[in-house]
Amino acid sequence: MPAGKVAVISFDVEQDCPPYLSTTKGMEEGLPRLLDLLAEKHVKATFLFTGDMARRYPGLARRVVEEGHELGCHGLTHERFDKLQRAEAERRLEKATAILRSYTDNVVSFRAPNLQRPRWLLPVLAKLGYQVDSSSARYKPPFTRRPGRAGELLVVPVSVTSSVLRLPWRLQAIIHRRLAPPRVYFSHPWEYVDMSRAGVRLDCRFNTGEKALELLSRLIDSLRAEGYRLLTLAELADLY
């Protein structure tokens, strides 16, 4: 059934701008800043951790759970599942799930790295107890427009690519107004660290750091002004 005016703020929690960097400034600096902002705004978000980041930064994984946010899965080491054999993909997903569920049993949402989730992974996710897959995008083939069921899973497409959230607000506002609900936004903790001097492509560098944080704050305020409810992926699934 239609969910009405709802939006999801979500974060793919990984190393910095993979596969170009192996640093973790996003974990050390960006993620605490995000959690502070969300606490200030009284927003509950979905944080989809790689198993590796949850293992290496247990304090942050615990903080996400303790502050009432949803903890989800983003693979084990930001691997491309469409490049793996099914047995290896299943092994890695099982390992990541076990790590994440050591923090909370309620790990039910998944997003594939690079939004590349082969269809054969859906029954694997269902077998492991996942309820939501948010690995498709409205702007990428097959251009999934609305949430829909794939067996036991709710497939929820993201609305725009993450770098849209770092565009100047005047441009962003035009894009946001054209997005049908439910709006599903995602970004990464490393985007909230100054990456302007990093040796990576432009879309991983522009408007990062404090400017990105200011823009996210403005998006939250704009959504609320439009009458949107801000939910986690798991809460969105309850509406379908």
Is the pLDDT score of 181 beyond 70? yes
| Structural domain total, the chain | 1
Q: What is the CATH number of the domain that holds 181?
A: 3.20.20.370
In a domain, 1, yes or no: no
Is the pLDDT score of 1 beyond 50? no
Give percent of the chain with pLDDT exceeding 90.
Answer: 91
- Tell me the backbone φ, ψ of residue 66, rounded to 5 degrees: -65, -30
Q: Which amino acid is at 181?
A: P
Is the pLDDT score of 128 beyond 80? yes
Query: Which tens digit of pLDDT belongs to each residue from 62-97?
Result: 999 999 999 999 999 999 999 999 999 999 999 999
The mean pLDDT of 38-52, rounded to a whole number, is 98
Cβ–Cβ under 8 Å, residues 156 and 133: yes
**pLDDT in the model for residue 199:** 85
Give percent of the chain with pLDDT exceeding 70.
Answer: 99
Q: Is the dihedral of CA 123, 128, 130, 131 positive or negative?
A: positive
In a domain, 160, yes or no: yes
194: domain range? 6-238
Cβ–Cβ under 8 Å, residues 132 and 88: no
Buried-exposed string 127-147: b where 16+ CB fall within 10 A, e elsewhere? ebebbbbbbbbbeeeeebeeb
In a domain, 97, yes or no: yes
Average pLDDT, the chain: 96
